Amino acid sequence: MIGFLQRVSRASVSVDGEPVASIGAGLLVLVGVERGDSEATASRLLERLLAYRVFGDTDGRMNLSLADTGGGLLLVPQFTLAATTRKGNRPGFDRAAPPAQARALLDFMLAQARSRHSGEVQAGQFGADMQVSLVNEGPVSFWLQVAPPVAAGG
């Protein structure tokens, strides 16, 4: 499972010109679900997102996490993160999870985030043509990836 996180002062998602989610200061995370991902990989990615230290302390060093600051979390599904881009001029999507699996894991991750994070938790709309707006602070952006466990004997 992939999370491309960006530290923001604000972020929002609209669909067909209508707002569907917004947060103030916190993290906007584009989330890609890959084949083989499970609730365990979704939980691990969420754990890392909540604990990843990307916010400045009193000395301006990135020593504080989203859990420490209580900032907002905006999760936005983005299957293109799972694209294969190593060759050719067109991305392939064979690594992306099937839509039903991806939706279920994103719904699971969202429910877990709402129960585990004290700050505001919002989400984009799965399968929609979304317009995402953000003000990236820093800019600070990181790619986090949690690989599914290797099957026994494989």
- Which listed residue (6, 41, 55, 78) is catalytic? 78
Query: Above 50 in pLDDT, residue 112?
Result: yes
- Which listed residue (6, 41, 55, 79) is catalytic? 79
| pLDDT score for 154 | 44
What end-to-end distance do the CA atoms of the chain give, in Å? 19
Q: What is the radius of gyration, based on Cα positions, of the chain?
A: 16
Question: With bands split at pLDDT 50, 70 and 90, how would you rate the model's confidence at 84?
Answer: confident
**Is 6 labeled as catalytic in the residue annotation?**
no
pTM: 0.93
Query: Of 71, 70, 77, nearest to 23 (Cα)?
Result: 71
Domain segments of the chain as ranges: 2-145
| pLDDT score for 148 | 76
pLDDT digits (tens, 9 = 90+) for 52-83: 999 999 999 999 999 999 999 999 999 999 88
Residue where the block lists tokens 């877990």: 112
Q: What is the DSSP string of 124-144?
A: --TTS-EEEEEEEEEEEEEEE
Fold category of 2-145 in CATH: D-tyrosyl-trna(Tyr) Deacylase; Chain: A; (3.50.80)
pLDDT digits (tens, 9 = 90+) for 86-97: 888 999 898 999
**Is 79 labeled as catalytic in the residue annotation?**
yes
